[in-house]
């Protein structure tokens, strides 16, 4: 699964990956739920950069402060009432350059970071939804799709985020939804790497460059 990730890639590299102009953005070393994150979506046929609250809130949610859903299972996203409209009509590409997983050892929670083999940026399959609060405030929200895990996730659990290859970005954004099943698969373990990082990552309030520094396992 994926509830914590990083986006600390220079803007120029993200512009190259997505083929659009991107505004200056802060380097992020520990993105957590409820925070504002960027994503690429379609406006008509044009890719546009937008900002969303991480944690999708279904349109019909009446709570004052709903938590929202950080992840949606790709196997069922097309049917679930909370996600199906977004999956059909509001898919997005969520830029990242790594994500975190935790290994529980006794009482300790030890964080690891997973990246692509070359350490470069990639896109996670996302869906977005606009929620209107009881007070009438509109909030753009998103969730990340998950699939079964590859061997790199073995020591953590059996889910991982769906990573969309650059060659498939257009297909993910344009659909149609019925044809997207083959994109919602585990990324090859051979093209990823995984390494321990400092437990300071555990606190979602800690967001500094040393979050991504490899340490000995």
Return residues touching DNA (CB under 7 A): 1, 3-4, 32-35, 55, 58-60, 65, 67, 69-73, 76-77, 80-83, 102, 104, 109, 111, 146, 156-159, 199, 202-205
Catalytic annotation, pick one of 51, 75, 101, 182 = 101
Select 22 or 189, whichever has its Cβ closest to DNA: 189
Which residues lie below 8 Å from residue 92, measured CB to CB, with a gap of 6+? 39, 40, 41, 50, 52, 126, 127, 128, 142, 173
Transcribe 116-132 into DSSP letters. ETT---EEEEEEEEEEE
Are 68 and 58 in contact, with CB atoms under 8 Å apart? Answer: no
Residue 52's CB is within 10 A of a number of other CB atoms, namely 23
Cβ proximity of 97 and 8 under 8 Å: yes
Distances (CA, A) of 71 to 104, 125, 161, 190: 21, 10, 8, 24
CB 6 within 8 A of CB 28: yes
Residue whose CB is less far from DNA, 77 or 192: 77
Whether the Cβ atoms of residue 72 and residue 83 lie closer than 8 Å to each other: yes
- Nearer Cβ to DNA, position 22 or 139? 139
The verdict on whether 15 is a catalytic residue reads no
Output the smallest distance, CB 201 to DNA, in A. 8
CB of 20 to DNA, least distance (A): 28
We find the least distance from the C-beta atom of residue 12 to DNA, in angstroms, to be: 28
Which one, 22 or 202, has the nearer CB to DNA?
202
CA 139 to chain centre: 18
Residue (17 or 124) nearer to DNA, CB:
124
Sign of CA dihedral 211, 34, 178, 159: positive
Instruction: Provide, rounded to whole angstroms, the least separation between the CB of residue 58 and DNA.
Output: 7
- Least spacing, CB of residue 29 vs DNA, in Å: 13
101 as an active site residue: the answer is yes
Query: Which of 2, 92, 152, 211 is labelled catalytic?
Result: 2
For the annotated catalytic residues, the residue numbers are 2, 101
């Amino acid at each position: 699964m994926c509830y914590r990730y990083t986006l600390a890639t220079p803007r120029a590299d993200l512009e190259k990956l997505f083929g659009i102009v991107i505004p200056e953005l802060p380097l992020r070393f520990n993105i957590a739920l409820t925070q504002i994150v960027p994503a690429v979506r379609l406006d008509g046929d044009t890719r546009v950069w937008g900002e969303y609250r991480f944690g999708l809130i279904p349109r019909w949610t009446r709570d004052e402060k709903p938590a929202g859903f950080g992840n949606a299972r790709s196997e069922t996203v097309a049917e679930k009432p909370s996600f199906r409209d977004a999956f059909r009509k509001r898919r997005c590409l969520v830029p990242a350059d790594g994500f975190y997983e935790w290994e529980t050892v006794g009482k300790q929670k030890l964080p690891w970071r997973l990246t692509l083999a070359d350490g470069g940026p990639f896109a996670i399959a996302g869906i977005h939804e606009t929620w209107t609060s009881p007070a009438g405030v509109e909030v753009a929200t998103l969730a990340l799709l998950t699939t079964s895990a590859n061997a790199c996730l073995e020591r953590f659990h059996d889910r991982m985020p769906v990573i969309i290859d650059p060659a498939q970005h257009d297909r993910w954004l344009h659909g149609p939804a019925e044809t997207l099943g083959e994109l919602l698969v585990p990324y090859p373990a051979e093209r990823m790497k995984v390494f321990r990082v400092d437990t300071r990552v555990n606190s979602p309030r800690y967001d500094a460059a040393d979050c991504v520094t490899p340490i000995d396992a």
